[in-house]
Amino acid sequence: MTIGRPGKQRGILWMAVAALLMTPANARASQSQEDADRLAAAQNSGQIAQREALETARVAKRATASAVTHAIDRATTQFIASLEASVTSRVADRVASKNEERVEQKIDQDQESREREQEARERAEEKREREQEARERAQEKIERLQELYDDGREDLDDDRYDRAAEKFQQLADMNGPQTDAALYWKAYAENRLGKRDTALATIADMKRRFPQSRWQKDATALEIEVKQSTGQAVKPADQSDEELKMLAIQGLMSSDPERTFPLLEKVINGSGSPKEKSKALFVLAQSGSAQAREILGRIARGQTNPDLQRKAVEYLGLFGGSEARKTLAEVYASSSDASVKHAILRSYMIGGDHERLFAAAKSEKDESLRREAIRQLGLVHGTSELEQLYQAETSTDLRREILQAFFLAGDSGRLVKAAQGEKDADLRRAAIRNLGLIHSEDSGKALQEIYAKETDHALKAEVLNAYFLQGNAKALVAIARSEKDPELKKTAVSKLSLMHSKEGNDYLMELLQK
């Protein structure tokens, strides 16, 4: 295809017109058709060229538009790719930042959770300690009252009536559970001192304040004796007469017990001294006869005052055998006096009665009595029963008491098991503490294994305390040498400084020489 320019074609046309004009007419006539044909051909050729030029322009325009479009597409693609890379990078950075924030938040949350759990454990521990302190204070008060009561009774036995009267007055002023008994014995001491009016006033006070007291019968007997007396102090010879009477009764018991029992009951129900009544009960219990057990059983059921009842319970446990323990079980089931029940549990221990101690430890509603039964099971080496109790018990306090009973039974293996496998940290500490109270090679090795495996700081400190309780300076020195934790090392050294052992002192000298 020939491509021409439109201006050039127009010049050719004008030249053809001029030549035609200069041609003769006839020539022009003949020529005109040819010229017309040529003109038409030229015009056609021009039109073709013009169309070709337009087509070429259109092709060029399309090519240019395609190139531009391609360039735009390529630029757009590059821009989008760049934008995507930028967005991806920013998104990745943001995701990484979010992940870091989440990780930090998770760490913070975990730390806060651990701190809350630790605070909760500390609060629970503080609560348990407060409750334990309250129980201990209450127990200490009971023990102080009992100690004062026992001291007063001892003064009566030793004929120190003035001191006895002072102690029983002090006990009565404290208004404890033994106030009625304290007033009775105060009146008894005052009568022995010859203070008849004071003794009668004390008896009247006791009867007025405690109309349902089981000391009422004794107080009435004492009141009759005081009113019949002259108000003079009892002479030492009178005490000798009491002792002579008891010696005579003991002599009769071996030869003619049937005549002796009424005499003993008269002493027990009379206004004699505590020592005299206690001796009468002892003589009865030693006889071992069915009639003696029957008399002791009546006293154990509460026929007389609480002092004699507890003493009868004690003697039934010592001398009574299986029939006496059956009587004790009946008394235990019917009595509402906790002190009597405690005495019966101790009598079960004296008699080695695992079965009844186990029953009380399982089913007793009074927690103090359950604790008593658990302790007595430990003293009779009832480890099988203690294991059953430990597995079934849900109370942490009672499980701690059972661990203490394992110590009383000398069962270091069970304590090691609890120290290593118990989930409750408080119980693990209790097991470790009780291991420290067992002075044996096995318990020392067990503590060493526990310390090596343990990660809890407080439990490791408890092991150090257990070593201290054992007097195991060698183990504490070894830990002080190797321990990397400064607080635990300090604790070990502190324990060694209190032990005054040769191994500990040698190590302390090493520290001073560094």
Per residue in 201-228, pLDDT tens? 999 999 999 999 989 988 888 888 888 7
The mean per-residue pLDDT over the stretch 298-327 comes to: 86
Q: Judge if 84 and 142 occupy the same domain.
A: no
The position carrying tokens 């206004």 is 271
Top pLDDT among 400 and 33 is at: 400
CA 498 to CA 379: how far, in whole Å? 31
pLDDT at 170: 93
The mean per-residue pLDDT over the stretch 441-463 comes to: 87
- Arithmetic mean of pLDDT over the chain: 81
> Is the C-alpha dihedral spanning 296, 301, 304, 310 positive or negative?
positive
| 488 domain-assigned | yes
Q: Are 413 and 384 in contact (CB under 8 A)?
A: no
| 467 domain-assigned | yes
For residue 450, give both structure tokens: 């526990």
Reference 409, options 448, 359, 375; nearest CA is: 375
| 212 domain-assigned | yes
Q: Which residue among 177, 210, 231 closes a domain?
A: 231
pLDDT at 7: 52
Written in H, E and C, the secondary structure of 263-302 is HHHHHHHCCCCHHHHHHHHHHHHHHCCHHHHHHHHHHHHH
Q: Is the pLDDT of residue 12 over 50?
A: no
Residue 35: give the domain boundaries: 6-115
How much of the chain is in helix, strand and coil states, percent to nearest 5?
A: 85, 0, 15
CA 160 to CA 85: how far, in whole Å? 105
Residue 181: CB atoms within 10 A of its CB come to 25
Q: Are 414 and 387 in contact (CB under 8 A)?
A: yes
Among 196-210, 234-248, 322-336, 488-502, name the one with the lowest average pLDDT: 234-248
CA 337 to CA 317: how far, in whole Å? 18
Reference 343, options 374, 314, 368, 371; nearest CA is: 314
CA 467 to CA 498: how far, in whole Å? 12
Q: Judge if 100 and 149 occupy the same domain.
A: no
Number of structural domains (the chain) is 3
* Element holding 474 (H helix, E strand): helix 473-482
Q: What is the separation, in whole angstroms, between the first and last Cα of the chain?
A: 112
The mean per-residue pLDDT over the stretch 446-453 comes to: 88
Q: Judge if 14 and 109 occupy the same domain.
A: yes
Residue type, 396: T
DSSP string of 37-58, one letter each residue: HHHHHHHHHHHHHHHHHHHHHH
| 460 domain-assigned | yes
Q: Is the pLDDT of residue 421 over 90?
A: no
Q: Judge if 146 and 52 occupy the same domain.
A: no
| 507 domain-assigned | yes
Report residue 271: phi and psi, to 5°: -105, 30
Task: Quote the pTM value.
Answer: 0.63
pLDDT at 17: 47
Q: Is the pLDDT of residue 407 over 50?
A: yes
Q: Are 404 and 430 in contact (CB under 8 A)?
A: yes
Residue type, 495: K
Q: Judge if 96 and 158 occupy the same domain.
A: no
pLDDT at 2: 46
> Is the C-alpha dihedral spanning 19, 25, 27, 31 positive or negative?
positive
Q: Is the pLDDT of residue 4 over 60?
A: no
Q: Judge if 100 and 18 occupy the same domain.
A: yes
pLDDT band at 188 (very low <50, low <70, confident <90, very high): very high
Q: Which residue among 231, 252, 272 closes a domain?
A: 231
> Is the C-alpha dihedral spanning 401, 407, 412, 413 positive or negative?
negative
Q: Is the pLDDT of residue 256 over 80?
A: no
CA 419 to CA 413: how far, in whole Å? 10
pLDDT at 293: 85
pLDDT band at 137 (very low <50, low <70, confident <90, very high): confident
| 380 domain-assigned | no
pLDDT at 184: 93
pLDDT at 264: 86
Q: Is the pLDDT of residue 414 over 80?
A: yes
DSSP state of 370: H
* Element holding 380 (H helix, E strand): none
| 75 domain-assigned | yes
Q: Which residue among 204, 231, 258 closes a domain?
A: 231
Q: Judge if 109 and 16 occupy the same domain.
A: yes
Q: Judge if 102 and 201 occupy the same domain.
A: no
pLDDT band at 148 (very low <50, low <70, confident <90, very high): very high
For residue 202, give both structure tokens: 């004390």
Residue 428: CB atoms within 10 A of its CB come to 22
pLDDT at 439: 82
Percent of the chain topping pLDDT 70:
80
Q: Judge if 31 and 95 occupy the same domain.
A: yes
| 123 domain-assigned | no
Q: Judge if 106 and 10 occupy the same domain.
A: yes
Q: Which of the listed ranges 218-222, 386-390, 451-455 does the model predict with the highest average pLDDT?
A: 386-390
Q: Are 354 and 327 in contact (CB under 8 A)?
A: no
Q: Judge if 76 and 22 occupy the same domain.
A: yes
pLDDT band at 13 (very low <50, low <70, confident <90, very high): very low
Tens of pLDDT, residue by residue over 70-125, are 767 676 677 677 766 776 777 677 777 777 777 777 787 877 887 787 788 778 77
Number of H helices, E strands in the chain: 24, 0
Q: Judge if 108 and 142 occupy the same domain.
A: no
Reference 269, options 225, 328, 320, 334; nearest CA is: 225
